[in-house]
Structure 1
C-alpha cells in the first residue's frame, strides 16, 4: 500500500502517474467517473503532466475503460439515482470515513489550516471504506491480491 501526500501538486501528480504506469491497473472510486478521474486528468493537464495509460480514455469503448465506480455499480442502470458513500457504508455495516472531515472541508483544511496530515488520514480512510463497499457489493470476488489494510487512529 502506498500513500501520497505532497504540498506541491505537480510533484504529487508525477508520483501518482509513476505508480499508474507500473502495471495494468483497474481504478476504483465512489463517483470516480463523475469526479475523481476527470478531476485528476484536468489537474494533470493543467500541470503539464501527460496522462498515464489508465486515464487515457478518449476514443475507447466503454468496456475498454478500466474504471470501476461503486456509485455506478449501486445504480444498476438507474441514471437519476445518487447515493453517498457514507450511506452505502452504513447499509453494509462499514464505519464511515467522514468522522472528522469530509470532501467539502478539504480545501479549507489545506489552505487555511495547512493540515495535510488530517487530509491524508481522511483520504486513507475513504479508500478503505470504498474498498470495503466494493467487496460487500461483489461477494463473488475472491482475489488474493485484494487486501484491506486497517488504518491505525
Structure 2
C-alpha cells in the first residue's frame, strides 16, 4: 500500500541525457557502424544514421547523462518541505556524487527510489553509465540476483498502469489529468540536446529537470490521495 510508505524514505529523481558527441561526424568509424546497426530498426528507411543521431541520447551506449535532479520530503512537526538539488558537471563527477548520496543517506532497506518511467529509462541508464565508467554500482541500482519484490524502485508510470503493461502515459499528461498545476517549463525533452550543445545553457536544462522531479512527487501524492505541495513548500538547495 502506497499510504504505508514513509515519504521521507523516498528519493525522487529524473535525469537528462544527450548524445555522447555533438555530431555524428565526431564518432570514430567503428562507433558509426555500431550506431548504424543499433538504430536501424527505429529509423527504418526514414532517416540516415547521421540524421537520426540527434536522438542518440536515449541509448546509454551512445549517450551520456548531463544532470541528475533529486528531491525528497522533510517533515518537522506540521511543516512539510520538498527539497530539490541537482548533480551536474562531468558525467563521472555527477555519477560519483549521486552514488555518494545513495550510500550516505538512502542506503537502508527502507529507502526507495522513484521516478516516472524510471524502471525503463532512468534507473538502467544510470547503472549502465556507471558500469561504462567503471564505477561500482551502489546497492540501490545493483539488481543482479534480486527478486522482483526486493527491488527498491517505484515508478509513477507503472503505478498508473494498474497492471496494464501496454499503457504509456507521459508525466505531462498524467499531471494534467490529475489536476496538478503545470510547471512553467520553457523547454521539453526533445530540446535538451539543442539547448546543451548549441545554446550551451545547462542551467536551463537543470531547471527543467528539477521541475519534473517536483511533478513526479506531486503525482505520487495524488496517487496516495494526499494534498499537493504548495509553492512555498518546495525548496531548492
Matches within 5 A, 1:132-147: 132-139=218-225
CA distance in 2, matches of 1:151, 1:140: 19
2:118 corresponds in structure 1 to: 32
**Aligned: 1:75 with 2:166:** no
Q: Larger Cα Rg: Structure 1 or Structure 2?
A: 2
1:104 offset after TM fit, Å?
A: 2.1
Give CA-to-partner distance per residue, 1:52-81, whole Å, 9 cap, x none: 110011111111001000000000000111
Matches within 5 A, 1:32-51: 32-51=118-137
1:93 offset after TM fit, Å?
A: 1.2
CA distance in 2, matches of 1:88, 1:139: 15
Residue 14 (structure 1) aligned to one of 84, 96, 104: 96
**Aligned: 1:150 with 2:203:** no
Instruction: Extract unaligned runs of 5+ from structure 2.
Output: 1-82
Which moved further from structure 2: 3-12 or 121-130?
Answer: 3-12
Give CA-to-partner distance per residue, 1:83-115, whole Å, 9 cap, x none: 011111011111234731122222221122111
Residue 65 (structure 1) aligned to one of 123, 147, 151: 151
Q: Which has the higher strand share?
A: 2
| TM-score w.r.t. length of structure 2 | 0.57
CA contact (8 A) 1:90 1:96 kept: yes
Higher relative contact order (CA 8 A, sep 6+): 2
* Pairwise CA RMSD: 2.0
What's the secondary structure of 2:154's corresponding residue? strand
CA distance in 2, matches of 1:98, 1:41: 30
CA distance in 1, matches of 2:144, 2:226: 31
2:85 corresponds in structure 1 to: 3
User: Moved runs in structure 1, 4+ residues, more than 3 A?
Assistant: none
1:39 offset after TM fit, Å?
A: 0.7
2:178 corresponds in structure 1 to: 92
What's the secondary structure of 2:215's corresponding residue? helix
CA contact (8 A) 2:114 2:153 kept: yes
CA distance in 1, matches of 2:130, 2:145: 19
CA distance in 1, matches of 2:118, 2:175: 16
